[in-house]
Chain A
Amino acid sequence: MNKKRVLIFASLIGIFGISFVVSNLVGGSELKFTRALYYLFHPGSAGIERDIIWQIRFPRIILGLLVGAGLASCGTVFQGLLRNPLAEPYTLGISGGAALGVTVGVLLAASGAYLPLFAFAGSGSSVFLVYTIASKKRFSNSALILSGVILSFLFSSLVFLIFSISGAEDVHGVILWLIGNLSSAQTYLIKIIPFFILPGIGLFLIFSRDLNILTLGEEKALHLGVNSKQVKKLLFIAASCITGACVAASGIIGFVGLIIPHFMRKIVGVDHRLLLPASCIAGASFLILCDALARGIIRPLELPVGVITGIFGGLFFLSFLFKSKRWEIF
């Protein structure tokens, strides 16, 4: 059993390494494969080609890594906390809030550099609202999910309201952002995002044992010695922070937070002590590879990575459902 686990993690890390290298070699600019490989392993050399690798592609891959790991781990945590295998990072209305924030930002003609702040403010306020509403209802799962879904609807309606009274060009910008994109990321974000994502993931790992117990429900968890309400709130806030940071950096990238946890559960099992690290590595690899495709598939144009994760994720998920004998997804 332990040997199998070591093997699984070794291959996950292997896949991650390959995604990392491959992704560095793909891009909009004409750059010979062998040259790219050379510069990748000689960061000390000089020249434009070296800068393309190390100043354009590398930071973007780091961002993809952080966002992929962040979304996948949040999906795992939300599914476990809400005891619902269909939960994902955006279930509690974070995406709706962020979309509204960005729409308002575009409307106010804020410069692109400030849009992430608008997104973060939007997701923050939706989390705050969900939290406040759910607290009045003893923080139950149904209260969390319901208030999240309702706020999502409310926010997207407001977004469309703003769309319908504003200019067509603004709409285009917001929609591109909504699909999810790693290219629009501001460079300053790379320096900030890790402070939101990495401590959160650390917290998830520290509380992964508690999360196992919490999947049995709040009351049983309390009777097994978990301070259910507190742990739930703590993980909820950490997951919201991570998701908010991911959305601010790269828009609403779908499917990563939903399918990666599912898929990893099939491979490493349901124990969060293994599931969480596995989801992080797999989420990072998946997003990096999808982004490489987004850059390479119709060169020199680029697709938003959210389109790729949506199409591949959706197809993958469907085939997965059809192939498994029973109609079970968890």
Chain B
Amino acid sequence: MGILKVENLSCGYNRRDIIRGISFSVKEGGFLGIIGPNGAGKTTLFRAITGILRPRKGKILYCGNDISGISPQNFAREVAVIPQILEVPFAFSVEEFVLMGRFPHTGRFEALNKRDYKILEEALNLTETSSFRGRKILELSGGERQRAVLAQGFAQEPRLLLLDEPTSHLDIAHQVQVLDLLKRLNKEKNLTVIIVLHDLNLASSYCDRLILLKEGDIFKDGSPQDVLTYQNIERVYNTVVVVRKNPIDLKPYILLVTEKEKCSRKDV
């Protein structure tokens, strides 16, 4: 049985369906990437899976239970959600902020215990945020802030981690750092990861499985090798690409073709 199952899901905004009747299932320990062009419905699907957007048709099951019937607290004990950007209007310190990840595990009149602080340390160490734990969230750079948000997610001790383009505001070094960390937790702790990604090459290198969305429907679902063919990408993105094998990890690697090159080299 999969940890997350999407059954015939249709959802959208203002009576217009953006996601149209899609189904898939994710097994525990998987690393699934959701890719597709702008407007294909990646974020809409993500918002439905995270429980923000109610399905109009179909349902989403977490460990066999419909997520609309799971209380926010119980959901947060098992599933952590990392948004693209998180605005923090008040001057919480990194440590205070990361400790908020313990909220679903703490009763209303309970104080944080030794275990909570141990988990805090682990989360800070994993994300290498320990060195600026006393600084205010507002003062951090984009990369530091995103790592603090990740640390908060890890402090929830999730079985399933959902991320919406967590690397889109990071430079290449931080992109690799964040995704390496996710991969490590995926391998070592069997953490299931579902990640929305724009960057096809990152998706190819890190995900075991990709779902390619087109106009609210699944165009292709499979391994990076199966999904990232130039035929699929050109059909879905309406642009010319060349797909080669990444010499380092032997996964597909997508090269963009400029207009000038298209004209001068007809053989490509």
Contacts and interface: CB of A to CB of B under 8 A. Distances in A.
Contacts of B81: 220, 223
B83 A227 contact: no
Contacts of B25: none
Nearest to B75: A225
Contact of A265 (B80, B90, B152): B90
A16 B152 CA distance: 38
Interface stretch (A47-55, A59-67, A98-106, A207-215): A207-215
A216 B104 CA distance: 15
Q: Pick the most buried of B72, B87, B152: most chain A CB atoms within 10 A of its CB.
A: B72
Contacts of A228: 72
Interface residues of B, number: 29
Interface string A205-248: 01001001101110110111111100000000000000000000
Q: Is the interface of A mostly helix, strand, loop or mixed?
A: loop
B76 A330 contact: no
B69 interface: no
Interface of B: 50-52, 71-77, 79-81, 83, 86-92, 96, 100-101, 103-104, 108, 152, 156
24 contacts: A83-B89, A84-B89, A85-B89, A85-B90, A206-B108, A212-B100, A215-B89, A216-B100, A217-B86, A217-B87, A219-B50, A222-B51, A223-B50, A223-B51, A223-B72, A223-B80, A223-B81, A225-B76, A227-B72, A227-B73, A228-B72, A270-B91, A270-B96, A330-B89
Nearest to B73: A225
The list of the 6 closest CB pairs from A to B, nearest first, reads A225-B104, A225-B76, A225-B73, A223-B81, A270-B90, A83-B89
Contacts of B101: 224
Residue among B71, B76, B152, B156 facing the most chain A CB atoms (10 A cut-off): B76
Nearest to A222: B72
Interface residues of A, number: 25
B103 A225 contact: yes
B83 A219 contact: yes
Contacts of A212: 92, 100
A225 B52 contact: no
